[in-house]
Amino acid sequence: MKMKIILPTILVAGLASFRALGFPEVTTNGVTGFQDTPMQPDGKWHVHDPARPQPPVVTPGHKFSEMAAPPSDAIVLFDGKDLSQWRDRDNGGPAPWKVEDGVAVSVKHDIVTTNQFGDVQLHLEYRDPDLTGRVGQDRGNSGVFLMGRFEIQVLDCYQSLTYADGTTGAIYGQHPPLVNACRPDGEWQTYDIIFNVPHFDANGKLVTPAYATVIFNGVVVQNHQAIRGDTNWRVPGNYSSTAMTGPLALQYHGNSVAFRNIWVRPIAVVNDP
């Protein structure tokens, strides 16, 4: 559990450090990834396989939920003023990101919410920096972690290729997005996410997995998709904890990604037909 939580911060060193670890990268049709990783459960593709088909490109409509006002029952996590609802994931201290011109810019360390959440509706907006010349996972990389464990990828994939299960809107390392709905870098992108927690029996056996529905720039990119477990680099995922709540987290991955208008609503799950 502890290793799963801290690994995203360890990965901050970027692609150069990945190569230094000795993992051989493979490039297929202009996409760089790995084929020495475990197979996905369906047996078709390696984790981060560059040969896995790319999601089709869809041009999103204009703005959609950009600057959407939070509902009356929402918990506002960032309104452009301060990061008092967040803390440093590494040391528990104040969130070390800078706030300027109404946006929070990642500068070091992942940050996590001071509150714990379960089933939620989450809204946030982000903007990638101009990283002309960078490619793949080194281009505007960040992530939204549900319960601190399940990553929805943040990346600049506008006319930029990477392995499909690491594309913007992917459940990282597991499920590519249904489509690539990225706007150009420098424009604000929106995430509207519905998340349901995993459930376990009294013996800790998984009964139902976590699920995520992800709407990116107004386009559904994950449709009530089951999550196979904690997301991580080069592994297919497994559940490391039976906890029913956890913090939301935003990743620092060496790129200064900007965030704004972050709010969340705890939601009930009604299973009646």
> Would you call 250 helix, strand, or coil by DSSP?
strand
The string of DSSP codes covering 166-235 is GSTT-BTTTB--SSB-PPPTTS-EEEEEEEE--EE-TTS-EEE-EEEEEEETTEEEEEEEEE-SB--TTS
Q: Is residue 220 part of a domain?
A: yes
Q: Work out the pLDDT band at 130, boundaries 50, 70, 90.
A: confident
Q: Is residue 273 part of a domain?
A: no
Q: Is residue 271 part of a domain?
A: no
The enclosing domain of 225 has a CATH number of 2.60.120.560
The predicted-structure confidence for 157-170, as pLDDT tens digits, reads as follows 999 999 999 999 99
Q: Whole-model pTM?
A: 0.90
Residue 221 is which amino acid?
Answer: V
The predicted-structure confidence for 52-92, as pLDDT tens digits, reads as follows 999 999 999 988 999 999 999 999 999 999 999 999 999 99
Separation of CA 223 from chain center: 15
Asked if residue 168 lies in contact with residue 159, where contact means CB atoms within 8 angstroms, the answer is: no
Q: Is residue 171 part of a domain?
A: yes
Q: Which domain holds residue 202?
A: 2-266
Separation of CA 104 from chain center: 17
Number of domains in the chain: 1
Radius of gyration of the chain (CA): 17
